[in-house]
Amino acid sequence: MLEQIKCSPNIKEIPPFGYPVWLAGFLEIGGSMYFEKMNIGHGDRFVPYARPIIKMGDHDPIRVETLNRIMNGETIDRSKPKTLYVRLRCDKAVWLANSIRGYAPSRENIIQAFQLWSEAESTEDRVEIAKPFYGRRTVSEISPSVYRHLVRDSNFVAGLIDGRGSVIYDNANQSIDNFRLSSINTALLYALRNQYGGYVDELSHAGDTVFVRGTDTTMLLNNNSQWVIGRNFMNELVAWAKPRLPLSNA
């Protein structure tokens, strides 16, 4: 009964997801897949509970509205910092995770855990399955070679661009200088470098303290890096992926 209350709607009511490879790229470059730890009131006591979460954010309300329509999720407003999130929970998160199985190498462990969670027969079993995945540090360490075929797929690359792509302008010359993708998934960034050239830069180190929400600080859990390519190849890359960019074309 507890699962039914906290994890509706029924997964059978959700239509098939139409953008699996694009979504895999989006989540491999950024986004969060994790288990949320909770204590739920049940009669006269509180019981431990865990539920799977997929969450993706953006600063642009139009892009978030489009993402929410694609994902069939719920929009969360976080005004500090000014980021909107689309979130899927429970059976919806399991359904979406299963749709990208085989296209998201760094997420395979958490995808498997989501599936085991959905098949577990008790709340206690679900909590045990979730324990290794509490929080948001769910990107497994893998070799860049694992991504060799995926970075040649325009749908996957479109997901990367929609998720974390940024164009850097040269104000002095009033022109585009380069294109960048930033991520904690360094294996993916090196796979892009190996396929398309450019270089990978480390932006921050695990353990660094950074400012968030004005004067608040937080300690980074992961290294953060970026892949950079020049403007000439950027035009070719974006043109190749452009028909498959549901957010950037919104």
78: three-class secondary structure by DSSP: strand
Looking at residue 14, its pLDDT comes to 43
Token readout for 185 is 């998934």
Residues 11 and 117 in one domain: yes
Residue 250 lies in a domain: no
What is the gyration radius of the CA atoms in the chain, in angstroms?
A: 19
Q: Domain holding 83: CATH number?
A: 3.10.28.10
Rounded to the nearest 10 degrees, what angle do helices 231-241 and 154-164 cross at? 120
Q: For the chain, first and last CA: distance in Å? A: 40
Residue 139 lies in a domain: no
Paired strand residues for 46 = 41
Q: Domain holding 164: CATH number?
A: 3.10.28
Q: How many CB atoms lie within 10 A of CB 167?
A: 12
Residue 75 lies in a domain: yes
Tell me the CB-side half-sphere exposure of residue 136, using CA atoms within 13 A: 11
Distance CA 76, CA 85 (A): 5
pLDDT-wise least confident of 9-23, 82-96, 160-174, 179-193: 9-23
Residue 16 lies in a domain: yes
Number of domains making up the chain: 2
Q: Which of 26-35, 58-67, 163-172: highest mean pLDDT?
A: 26-35
Residues 23 and 91 in one domain: yes
Residue 249 lies in a domain: no
Percent of the chain at pLDDT > 90 equals 23
Residues 194 and 230 in one domain: yes
Residues 36 and 119 in one domain: yes
- Look at residues 105, 133, 161 and tell me which one is the last residue of a structural domain: 133
14: three-class secondary structure by DSSP: coil
Q: Which of 28-37, 61-70, 199-208: highest mean pLDDT?
A: 28-37
For 168-196, the pLDDT digits (tens) are 666 656 556 678 888 889 999 999 999 99
* Mean of pLDDT values over 146-174: 82
**Measuring CA to CA, which residue among 74, 66, 98, 101 is closest to residue 9?**
74
**Measuring CA to CA, which residue among 76, 143, 67 is closest to residue 105?**
143
For 72-88, the pLDDT digits (tens) are 777 776 655 566 778 88
Query: Which residue would you say has higher pLDDT here, 207 or 225?
Result: 225
Looking at residue 110, its pLDDT comes to 93
For 125-149, the pLDDT digits (tens) are 999 999 888 875 556 678 999 999 9
Paired strand residues for 168 = 178
Q: Is the pTM of this model over 0.85?
A: no
Range of the domain at 217: 144-244
Q: Where are the alpha helices (DSSP H) in the chain?
A: 2-6, 20-29, 61-71, 90-99, 108-119, 123-130, 154-164, 186-196, 231-241
